[in-house]
Amino acid sequence: MYGVISLGFIFYWGSSIVCFTMLCFMCIILMSQSFSCSFNMFFNLSPLSSFMLMLSVVLCILSLISTPNSKSYSYQCTISLLGGFLALAFSSSNMINFYIWFEASLIPTLILIICWGYQPERLQAGSYVMLYTVAASLPLLLILIWRCVFAGSMNIFVMGNSSSHILSSVLIFVYGAFLVKLPMYSVHLWLPKAHVEAPLAGSMILAGILLKLGGFGLFQMNKCFSLLSSYSTSFIIACVSLWGGLLAVMVCLRQVDVKSYVAYSSVGHMGLVSAGVILDRTWGVSSAFITMIAHGFASSALFCLAFFSYGKSHSRAMPYMKGMLKLYPILSFWWFIFCCINMAAPPTINLLGEMLIIPSAWFSFWGLAIVLTTMVFMSASYNMYLYSSINHGDGSFYLTSGTNVNSSEGICLISHFIPLLIIFKSSMFLVYNSFLLFGSGRPIFELQNQSFI
């Protein structure tokens, strides 16, 4: 009896070590490629897709490390399945395959919310996710099939080199599936609901990777469809994204639930990403690229901090979590670090992402630059309010029954912080080369197939 249990224990941990080693080896291979472009008929490893693959591998591993009490086999298989679908979506060079894996990632996410959610409202949150994302992506499938037939190929590289001028009304459906996934304000209602009801791993992967899948889809659509005949529609969508991002940032100041607070801040950051990609200028695309990577680690870390603070106070309401600085100074230190990163304080990588989009917006319309500067100011305001509400003041009675910060929590937070330091150097090098190559803020369609993405 004990021999069987020992063999099962050895097999379980041995398989876990092998999987962890394989994921680390994959990450090392991607890093050793220096994120250089490659092309074949099956996989498409551009700099963006390489970064997204690295982000998917790292966050899937960190989601398992940060939840040491959830070690069921079905839980680990669900996260592994979701990571596999995301890796296939980010590396696919076939447009229909990309759409399939893009939609398939919804299934493990729905399982995480329904099976490991906290409250009975998780069924309503799952239905919100299904209705918003599926309804927006079905018209996209029909348009992609027509585009593939017109180009005579399903390969993204071939489709990008064949002319295709689409109507302005069709462009809304092309972008709509990915704007809902980002999400853009006005189609964002599923995101706070899903974040509040999802477990920690679901929130980490949802904010860190799945939202970026929408931004990655916008990059892919810009490759496959010509925007010359639909610039006015693109400009209107960009204006709605930026104005909606400002509204989402202002809504943050009215939130009480910490997870809902971080979710609405993600809506504001994703408004910058969608505007940067849709405006289709070199500085805006650089900003979207950098913001996606930086927000992936920062938002995931903030959800980890919200979960760890919930373990100390047994509540997600900020009035019951105040005074954490006196009792848990290490946790308050990490709150300070990641709030500074989220508010784009210098010299963080988020500052680079937010500053780069301002010239792009100014060249399109000066009013957008005013909206952006207001968003930057409001972002600093709500992050300072979030930190001060949780950590300052007299200690709450509910914090006295909590436990100290353990090793898994510390490892998880440090692992979120280190990649941001590493990527900062790569981002500076990328932006410097893009400035030398592309000049100042010209539209990408004027560069005639010269692209660094």
Helix or strand or coil: residue 287? helix
**Which pLDDT does position 226 carry in this prediction?**
67
What are the angstrom distances between the C-alpha of 42 and each of 48, 88, 159, 295?
17, 10, 14, 29
Identify the three-state secondary structure at position 376: helix
DSSP, collapsed to helix, strand or coil, labels residue 298 as helix
CB 41 within 8 A of CB 155: yes
Residue 131: partners with Cβ closer than 8 Å, 6 or more residues away:
190
pLDDT of res. 447 = 43
pLDDT, residue 387, reads: 93
Q: What is the C-alpha separation between 210 and 189, in angstroms, rounded? A: 16
Amino acid 29 reads I
Contact call for residues 233 and 225 (beta carbons, < 8 A):
no
**pLDDT, position 448:** 40
- How much is the pLDDT for 91? 87
**Residue 126 and residue 140 in contact, taking contact as beta carbons nearer than 8 Å:** no
Q: Kindly report, residue by residue over 392-425, the tens digit of the pLDDT.
A: 877 767 676 666 778 888 888 998 998 887 776 6
What is the spatial distance between Cα 37 and Cα 33, in angstroms, rounded to a whole number? 9
Q: Are 246 and 264 in contact (CB under 8 A)?
A: no
Residue stretches of the chain with pLDDT short of 50: 1-41, 434-453
DSSP state of 185: T
